[in-house]
Chains A and B, each alone.
Chain A
Amino acid sequence: MRKRFPMQIPDDTVLMAYADGELSADVSDQVEGWIARMPAMQARVAAFMHSRALLQAALAAPLHEPTPHQSAALIGALGAMIASERKRKVVPLRTPRGDSPIIGYALAAGLAAIIIGFGSGLAWQSSVDYAVRMAALDAASAAALSQAVALTLETSPNYRAVMFHSASGIRQSITPLATFVTDDGAICREYLLAGRSEEIATACRDDNGRWLPRPVTGRRT
Chain B
Amino acid sequence: MHESSETSSFGDQLVSLMPRLRRFAIGLTSSTHEGDDLVQSACQRALERTEQWRPGTRLDSWMYRIMQTIWLERLRAGAIRTSFLREQIEGPIVDGVRDADARTTFGKVRRILDEIPDQQRSVLLLVCVEGLSYREAAAVLDVPTGTVMSRLARARKTVMDRLDGMPSTAPAEASTDKEAAHA
**Measuring CB to CB, which residues of chain A are less than 8 angstroms from any residue of chain B?**
12-13, 16-17, 20, 22, 47-48, 50-65, 67-68, 71-72, 74-80, 82-84, 86, 92, 101, 120, 157-158, 179, 221
Contacts and interface: CB of A to CB of B under 8 A. Distances in A.
Main secondary structure of the interface of B (DSSP, over half): helix
Given A76-B1, A79-B8, A55 B109 contact: yes
Interface in B123-147: 124-125, 127-129, 133-134
B113 A12 contact: no
B23 A62 contact: yes
B33 to A, nearest CB: 11
Interface in B1-25: 1-3, 5-8, 10-11, 14-15, 18-20, 22-23
B62 interface: no
Given A79-B11, A157-B44, A57 B179 contact: yes
B39 to A, nearest CB: 6
B143 to A, nearest CB: 15
B47 A54 contact: no
Given A22-B134, A57-B182, A67-B22, A82 B153 contact: no
A42 to B, nearest CB: 15
Contacts of A65: 19, 22
Given A13-B149, A55-B124, A80-B2, A22 B133 contact: yes
B110 A47 contact: no
Contacts, number: 141
B19 A61 contact: no
B129 A157 contact: no
Given A55-B109, A57-B179, A83-B2, A72 B18 contact: yes
Given A57-B106, A58-B113, 5 more contacts: A47-B160, A61-B182, A62-B35, A79-B11, A84-B2
Contact of A79 (B1, B105, B124, B152): B1
B159 interface: yes
B26 interface: yes
Contact of A60 (B77, B79, B183): B183
B113 A55 contact: yes
Given A13-B149, A55-B129, A76-B8, A221 B40 contact: yes
Given A20-B127, A83-B5, A54 B159 contact: yes
A158 B77 CA distance: 16
Contacts of B44: 74, 78, 157-158, 179
* Max chain A Cβ within 10 angstroms of own Cβ: one of B26, B35, B106, B125: B106
Nearest to A70: B40
A63 B23 contact: yes
Given A13-B150, A157-B44, A62 B26 contact: yes
Given A13-B150, A79-B10, A59 B27 contact: yes
Nearest to A14: B149
Contacts of A54: 105-106, 109, 159, 163
Given A51-B156, A76-B8, A71 B39 contact: yes
Contact of B19 (A16, A63, A76, A120): A63
A50 B160 contact: yes
Nearest to A57: B183
B176 interface: no
A12 to B, nearest CB: 6
